[in-house]
C-alpha cells in the first residue's frame, strides 16, 4: 500500500469523523477537556462570568436542557427585564447567524443579561462587529466569545453556488465565506455534506480571524484572558456542537 493511498484513506476517515460528529453532541475529547458531567444540566452563573472555561460548561449544559426538552427559561420574567436597567454583565458573547431559526437565548436556555449577541447572515463580521465584540470584552469584561454557525445556513449555501452577479451587498457576505466554500467544494462530497463542511470551515476561519484581531482580542486570546471558540447548531437535534480543534487549542489545553 503506497503512501499517497494511505494518506487518502486517512483524509477520508478524518472527514467522515468531522461530518458524523456534526450530527451528534459534543465529542468525548471536549467532554474530557471541559470535565463535563453526564446527565448534568446546571452550572452556576457567577462562576461562568469569572471563569470562561466554566462559562463553556454553562452554555453546554443549557443547550443540553433545550435539546432534551428540559428548558427552565431562567431570568425571563418582567421583573428580570426591569432589574437590569442599571447595567449588564453577560458571561458570554455570541457571534451568530441572523437566521430566525437560531434564537440564541432559547437554544442555550439562558435569560436576560446572560448573553451579549451580535448577528449577521453567515455570522460574517466587519468593523461594526469588531467594535461590538471589543466593547463586550473591554467594557463589560465578558471573557468568552463563541462563533456560532448552524446547519443549512443560507448564506453559506449562497457562497457555495458562487453566483456571478449577486444582488446589492450580498456580495460582501459571499466573498467573506468564499474561502470555506471553496475548500468544501474541493472535498468532492454530496451537496448536503459539502454544505455542512463549509459551515464548519467558515466558523473555524472566523474563530482564527478573531484570535488574531489586533489590538484587543489577539492579546487577550493569546494570554488566555478571553476564550474564542467555535460551534455549530444542528437544527434537527437541537444540539450545539462545539468544534473540537477550537477547544483543544485553547491556552489551558495546548500549553
DSSP line for 182-241: HHHHHT---HHHHHHHHHHHHHHHHHHHHHT-TTHHHHHHHHTSSEEEEEEE-TTT--EE
| Mean of per-residue pLDDT scores for the chain | 90
Between β-strands 227-233 and 240-242, what pairing exists: parallel, antiparallel or unpaired? antiparallel
Residue pair 96/102 in contact by the 8 Å Cβ criterion: yes
Predicted confidence at residue 7, as pLDDT, reads 39
Q: What cell numbers appear for 81 in the block?
A: 427585564
> Around Cβ 40, how many Cβ atoms within 10 Å?
11
Q: Tell me the β-bridge partners of 146.
A: 94, 229
Predicted confidence at residue 24, as pLDDT, reads 54
Reported as a single tens digit per residue, the pLDDT across 196-209 is 999 999 999 999 99
Which residues participate in the annotated binding site?
97, 99, 150, 153
> Averaged over 136-161, what is the pLDDT?
96
Would you call 151 helix, strand, or coil by DSSP? coil
Weakest mean pLDDT among 19-33, 115-129, 152-166: 19-33
Q: What cell numbers appear for 221 in the block?
A: 486570546
Q: Which among 31, 33, 20, 25 has a CA at the least distance from the CA of 196? A: 20
Q: Tell me the β-bridge partners of 119.
A: 96
Q: What cell numbers appear for 73 in the block?
A: 427559561
Predicted confidence at residue 22, as pLDDT, reads 45
> Around Cβ 208, how many Cβ atoms within 10 Å?
15
- Would you say residue 5 has pLDDT above 60? no
Name the CATH topology of 24-249: Beta-carbonic Anhydrase; Chain A (3.40.1050)
Q: Where are the domains of the chain?
A: 24-249
> Percentage of residues in the chain with pLDDT exceeding 70?
91
Which residues participate in the annotated binding site for Zn(2+)?
97, 99, 150, 153
Predicted confidence at residue 62, as pLDDT, reads 97
Reported as a single tens digit per residue, the pLDDT across 23-75 is 457 889 999 999 999 999 999 989 999 999 999 999 999 999 999 999 999 98
What's the order of all strands across the beta sheet hosting 92-97?
115-120, 92-97, 144-150, 227-233, 240-242
> Averaged over 150-163, what is the pLDDT?
93
Amino acid at each position: 500500500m503506497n503512501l499517497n493511498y494511505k494518506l487518502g484513506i486517512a483524509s477520508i476517515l478524518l472527514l467522515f469523523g468531522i461530518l458524523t460528529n456534526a450530527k451528534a453532541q459534543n465529542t468525548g475529547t471536549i467532554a474530557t477537556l471541559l470535565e463535563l458531567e453526564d446527565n448534568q444540566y446546571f452550572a452556576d452563573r457567577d462562576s461562568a462570568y469569572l471563569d470562561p472555561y466554566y462559562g463553556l460548561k454553562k452554555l453546554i449544559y443549557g443547550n443540553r436542557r433545550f435539546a432534551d426538552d428540559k428548558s427552565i427559561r431562567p431570568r425571563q420574567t418582567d421583573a428580570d427585564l426591569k432589574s437590569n436597567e442599571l447595567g449588564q454583565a453577560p458571561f458570554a458573547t455570541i457571534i451568530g447567524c441572523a437566521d430566525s431559526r437560531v434564537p440564541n437565548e432559547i437554544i442555550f436556555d439562558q435569560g436576560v443579561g446572560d448573553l451579549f449577541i451580535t448577528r449577521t447572515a453567515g455570522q460574517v463580521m466587519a468593523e461594526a462587529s469588531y467594535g461590538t465584540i471589543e466593547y463586550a470584552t473591554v467594557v463589560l469584561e465578558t471573557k468568552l466569545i463563541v462563533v456560532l454557525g448552524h446547519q443549512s445556513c443560507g448564506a453559506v449555501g449562497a457562497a457555495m453556488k458562487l453566483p456571478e452577479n449577486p444582488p446589492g451587498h450580498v456580495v460582501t457576505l459571499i466573498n467573506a465565506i468564499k474561502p470555506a466554500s471553496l475548500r468544501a467544494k474541493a472535498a468532492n462530497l454530496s451537496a448536503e455534506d459539502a454544505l455542512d463542511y463549509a459551515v464548519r470551515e467558515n466558523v473555524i476561519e472566523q474563530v482564527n480571524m478573531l484570535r488574531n484581531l489586533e489590538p484587543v482580542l489577539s492579546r487577550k486570546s493569546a494570554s488566555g484572558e478571553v476564550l474564542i471558540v467555535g460551534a455549530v447548531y444542528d437544527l434537527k437535534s437541537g444540539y450545539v456542537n462545539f468544534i473540537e480543534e477550537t477547544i483543544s487549542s485553547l491556552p489551558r489545553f495546548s500549553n
